[in-house]
A and B are shown apart, each in its own frame.
Chain A
Amino acid sequence: MHLRRDIRIMNCRETRALFSEFYDGELNQEIAQAVKGHLAECQECREEFKNLKKSLKILKKLKILEAPRNYVNLKQKH
């Protein structure tokens, strides 16, 4: 990673290593801009990031279920 005209330039490996934090909005503005900049120029990384988002969208389709019984009352019997 290096600086060029106040913009951080990153290669594919560096960018992909930050995908997870980028997705979560955990990167500082400068690094996030660098990731965005790389994604704008690199189709392969765009595809990779798209796949990451897709898989997490699938994961989030897992239903949250109601608890099958009341565990609090069980506790009080002990």
Chain B
Amino acid sequence: MNHVELNLIVSALEGDSNALNELFSQHQKYVFNIMLQLTGDTARADDLTQETFLLAFRKLHGFRCQSSFRTWLSRIAINLFRLEFRRKPKHLSLCLEEIRIPSHQDNPERVVIKSELQWCILHNLQQHLPNKYREVLVLRDLHHLSYKEISEILGWSLSKTKTCLHRARQMFRQQFINNKCKAFADDYLCICEGILEL
């Protein structure tokens, strides 16, 4: 933990609301995006981010600086996500395999398709990856956390983190192959029509 963060935490614990604001503000975007990537649903991500900060605020006095503030906050966020998914199992959405969009250069739907690429990635994360694999993939490949930090957040051994990350990546890749993504198949059927430009 760096000195600036430590000073902010100490001041926040002493009741300095500006320090508290700054400490939490630095992580809003990070927590919201994790929730969005885990749930695939903006409204749920918004609710869960709010819950994370409310809970973090209530628990702050118990923060012992044994990990970085981000690790501590991430653990709260992940636990809330896990609880939410136990309470409300994920909804079923349209499966990628069912979508077919004609492929030719003048297709006016290409504008729409660009935003569909984002949907496609989120959909693969949501519908085809078990929660534990999604968690590790999001933390490592979208937020670039170290194996050690991920282990601390998810409450796993380093070895389990490595194994789950490996399986998560395999599973994620396999879904694109199974769905005949342009990046993997010459006879592609995917919705982005090669805008990936890999």
Shortest CB distance A57–B (Å)? 6
Given A62-B142, A67-B49, A52–B28 Cβ distance below 8 Å? no
Contact B183 A58 (CB under 8 A): yes
* Interface range, A side: 20 to 34
Residues of A within 8 A of B117 (CB): 61
Contact A59 B33 (CB under 8 A): no
Residues of A within 8 A of B172 (CB): 55-56, 59
Q: How far is the CA of A65 from the CA of B34 in the complex (A)?
A: 10
Cβ-based interface call for A66 (8 A): yes
Cβ-based interface call for B109 (8 A): no
Residues of A within 8 A of B7 (CB): none
For B, the interface residue count at a CB cutoff of 8 angstroms equals 44
Cβ-based interface call for B1 (8 A): no
Which one, B37, B166, B181, contacts A19 given CB within 8 A? B166
Cβ-based interface call for B53 (8 A): yes
> Closest chain A residue to B55 by CB distance?
A75
Cβ-based interface call for A3 (8 A): no
Q: Which residues of B contact A (CB under 8 A)?
A: 17, 20-21, 24-25, 28-29, 31-33, 36-37, 42, 46, 49-50, 52-54, 56-57, 117-118, 121-122, 137, 140-142, 147, 162, 165-166, 169-170, 172-173, 176-177, 181, 183-184, 196, 198
Q: How far is the CA of A68 from the CA of B28 in the complex (A)?
A: 10
25 A-B contact pairs sorted by A residue (CB < 8 Å): A20-B169, A51-B173, A52-B169, A52-B170, A55-B172, A55-B173, A56-B172, A58-B196, A62-B37, A62-B121, A64-B33, A65-B32, A65-B36, A67-B29, A68-B42, A70-B28, A71-B52, A72-B20, A74-B50, A74-B54, A75-B54, A75-B57, A76-B17, A76-B20, A76-B21
Which one, B33, B53, B121, B176, contacts A74 given CB within 8 A? B53
> Closest chain B residue to A63 by CB distance?
B118
Cβ-based interface call for A17 (8 A): yes
Contact B57 A78 (CB under 8 A): yes
Q: How far is the CA of A19 from the CA of B191 in the complex (A)?
A: 28
Cβ-based interface call for A30 (8 A): no
Contact A78 B54 (CB under 8 A): yes
Cβ-based interface call for A54 (8 A): yes
Residues of A within 8 A of B196 (CB): 57-58, 61
Residues of A within 8 A of B121 (CB): 58-59, 61-62
Shortest CB distance A53–B (Å)? 9
